[in-house]
Amino acid sequence: MIMRCLSLVCLTLCLTLGQGALAQEPEPGPAPGLRALPERPLAADFSLAGPAGEMHRLADYRGQPIILNFWATWCPPCRAEMPSMQRAHETLSGEGAGMVMAINVGEDAEAVRRFLESLPLSFPLPLDVETEVTPRYPVRGLPTTYVIDPEGHLVYEALGEQRWDDPAILDQVRALARP
């Protein structure tokens, strides 16, 4: 009898909460997970080496939207979102509509190379070994990601793990690529 009452209370609560969620109007704006940055600050330029010693300078990628991620191999949500970042990179770069870049924060090339053994990634992975670049962005935790417009302004911010190959997010990035 007690279990039946508890089940009825749970069902009633779920139905009530569900009706409230259905009654709310969706808010217009960026895709879920992205927060618009109305001030649109200029992204700080940098020149950082990747795990194989190749140099990455943000200014070299101007003219296209960039999903710029800050991450670390020890961060579970960072690792979890990497496969979706790879798919987003493949989609956007294949369409000529943007790219993905992920700055590793505070680790050396060997740590990132070990990580890449388990998950090969084809997008740039600059290393901010001495954490000189990261403080020039408003990073409050890992992962933090910014979407940069073709002119180099931070347009969107995402805190925490996201599904970067979500069609709504990809559409937001594609919209920045259009003249």
**90-138 pLDDT per residue, tens:** 999 999 999 999 999 999 999 999 999 999 999 999 999 999 999 999 9
Instruction: Indicate whether 5 belongs to any domain.
Output: no
Q: Longest C-alpha distance within the chain, in Å?
A: 69
Instruction: Indicate whether 20 belongs to any domain.
Output: no
Indicate the number of domains in the chain.
Answer: 1
* CA geometry: angle 172, 173, 177, nearest 5 deg: 115
Instruction: Indicate whether 133 belongs to any domain.
Output: yes
Rg (CA), the chain: 20
pTM of the predicted structure, to 2 decimals: 0.83
Q: What does the pLDDT look like over 135-155, one tens digit per residue?
A: 999 999 999 999 999 999 999
Q: How far apart are CA 171 and CA 167, in angstroms?
A: 6
Q: What does the pLDDT look like over 28-74, one tens digit per residue?
A: 467 888 999 999 999 999 999 999 999 999 999 999 999 999 999 99
Pairing type for strands 47-49 and 144-148 reads: unpaired
Q: Which of the 8 DSSP states describes residue 112?
A: H
Tell me the C-alpha to C-alpha distance, in Å, between residue 73 and each of 24, 41, 112.
38, 28, 7
In angstroms, how far is the first alpha carbon of the chain from the final one? 65
Mean pLDDT of 14-31: 43
CATH number of the domain that residue 74 is part of: 3.40.30.10
Instruction: Indicate whether 162 belongs to any domain.
Output: yes
Grade residue 1 by pLDDT with cuts at 50, 70 and 90.
very low
